[in-house]
Every structure is written in C-alpha cells, then in structure tokens.
Chain A
C-alpha cells in the first residue's frame, strides 16, 4: 500500500470539507485554495527561515508543525472574518467571482514578493516524518477530528441554522436566525480547515509555490463536493478521496487515463445530481445494515 497516495487522498478529503462548509449554508465560495496557499506559505516560511523551530533531532518536531498550524489557522481565520463580512453580502455566482478574485490576488502577491520565492517558490522544507506513512497517520487523525466536528455541526444549532439558510434564507431569517453571522461562521471554518491542510501539504510536498493555490485548484476542490455530494460531510470526503486517487489508479489505462477521469467527473453529476452520497442513501442503507447487525446479534445469542 502506497502511503504517499493515501496522504494525497486525505489532503483532498480535507480540501473537499473546506469547500463543503460554506455550501452547507448555500454559499458557493471558491476561496479554499487561497486559504490553502496561506497555510502552505506560512509553513514553508516558518520551517525554512526560523531556526528555533527546527529542534535538535533528525526530524522536524511535530510541535513545530502544530505551532505552524495554529498560526496558519489564526491568519486564515482573521482574514476570513474580515473578508467574509464584505464578500458574504454577495450571493451565488457573484460570491464565487469575488472569492476567485481573492485566490488570484493571493497568487499575484505571492509571485511578486521576494520572501515567498516568486514563481520558483520555497523548497527544502524539513520533514516531520521519515516516511509517507507518518504523514498519512497524522492526516488521518486530523481528518477524523474534522469529520467528527462536522458531524457535530450537522446536529447542533448553528449547523441546523446553516441548513435552514441553504433551503430558504428569507424563511430562516424570519425564524430569528442571524443569517449574516451563521454564513460568516461557515466561511471562517472553511478557511481554518484549508489553512491547516496547507501546512501539512507544504511539508508533505517538500516545496511550495504559487501554482499550488491557483484557480485550477478551486475547480478541482469544487468537483470533490459536486461529485461526492454537499448534503452531508461524508460526501466531500468521499469525493476528495476518490477524485484524488482516480488519476493514479487509472495509470494502467495509459494515455487514456485523464480522458477516463474526465468522463467519470462528467458522468457522476449526470447520474447523481445531488452527489454520490446523500442522506437518502443512509435511509436506504440503515434498515438493511441494521437488519444484518440485529440478525448477527441474534445469531451470536443462539
């Protein structure tokens, strides 16, 4: 089993969750790669320029990675808070365009700043783990934590308020939901997830440059959610895992692999307009799985 591919899939799943969070309240934000790039740049800069973080061991200390994550979360959170206040007044496609603008601004700024390495980027980023398996375990724990938080969110007041805004913003507002704050909360959470994912990605990729957080990445991450489904957190996770792995798994197909990959992205929404994973799927599965487990339990008793 190749842990490197697993790690890339897990990073894809995290980015999928970052796009999913604003979509939970019906906000189409494509800013995820922007915040992802901020996280990556923070990690790349801190780990290559601050000797105090390097520690004394042969590998880069995990505590330093956690510190980078905290700083990236702080930076992306504050930026999302300020920016969200303004751009979340826009809706639908206008919000999408405004968030694309953010991604482009960050890219151009990165290209023009001396200390971010311009177009070449920053390389020689130190490694906190000796193998890809270490990264995969760390990212798996991170993904599990964020999935758990998303699951909690779906069942608590802010989460239900987000769902209400997605279904009908006017009705939600008339029920006493503070729609502006709820949308802002989703946007900030999305930024935090993307930012800390960027920190892990920068270490894993050994190098960081402006291309990694460009408009193409906006579309790829959106595809994770469109393909997987945006009604439950499992959808974007599934979409992120599958669509990141697919181009690699299709290698035996040879030159046709990207064509097959494109066809899968096309066919997915055609047959599953709500995404592959929907709450209905759970309803369909529950009695069957429940039945099996009950039967199994009875079998054990007998």
Chain B
C-alpha cells in the first residue's frame, strides 16, 4: 500500500465525520508520510508501520463520538442545572426564606432588647433631674443595673446563636450550589 492508497482508504472510512475533522486527520498522516519519505523510508514501509487505515479510522470516529457524547451531556446538565435551580428556588423561597427571615428578625429583636437593657442605667441620670425621692432613684439604679446584666448575657447568647445560625446557613447554600452544579456529595 502506498501513500495515496493509505490516505484514500482512511478517508473512505472517515465519511461519517464532518469535513473539517476529516481534513485535519488526513493532514496528520500526510505529514507523517512526508517525514518518513524524507528519512528515506519507502511509502509501503511507512504505511505498514502505521497500521490498518480502517482501524485507525474507527479509532478516530470513536474518539469523535465520545467527545460528542460529552458535549450532549453538558447540554443535558445545563438543562438539569436550570431545573435544579428553579426547583431549589421554589423550595428555598417557601421552606427556607420564610424561616430565615423569621430567625433574622428574632436575632435583630433580641439585639435591640439587650441594647436597651444595657443602656437602661442611664435612665438614673434622667431621674436625678426630676423630683423623685432618693429611695425611688436608688431602686431604679439597682433595677436597671440588674437589667444591664441581663442585657449583657442576652447579647452574648444572641451573638453565639447567630454565629452558629449563619454557619449552618452558609453550609446550606453551598450544598445548593453543589446540587445545581450536578455534584453528588
């Protein structure tokens, strides 16, 4: 088999591929023949060591289809990603967003309460300028100092809780991402 026979046999079995693919493949083998001939080998010798052109063609076709299948797969996964996103969007809206807003509201409220408690001793100064008796001012002082303590504790607890809550929530969002990307972990 000489160069032309080899190339036309190869080409004959590549008909199923797009023109550009065929040409690119043929070019590779043309170049190979040219190099071989340049080194002083005979065309028949080069063709023999290249192997059966039909088998080579089959390999090229298989590679092409494999690659194509992967591309199809990616269209499929885009569709899947969109549906996953919509589905998760609905789920998130109904089952996650509402509780999320509620919990954030609770966190804000308890911060507000603890802030008010913490600054409550300041009311003693206001009372000083009024005409309250010193007993009632003293009572106010102790009561508000108590509130200050409660406020500090409440603030600390809220901070701890919101940290845990936001960590958990980030993890939940990340798992959403993974589902949308199609990873299954």
The answer to whether A and B assemble together is no
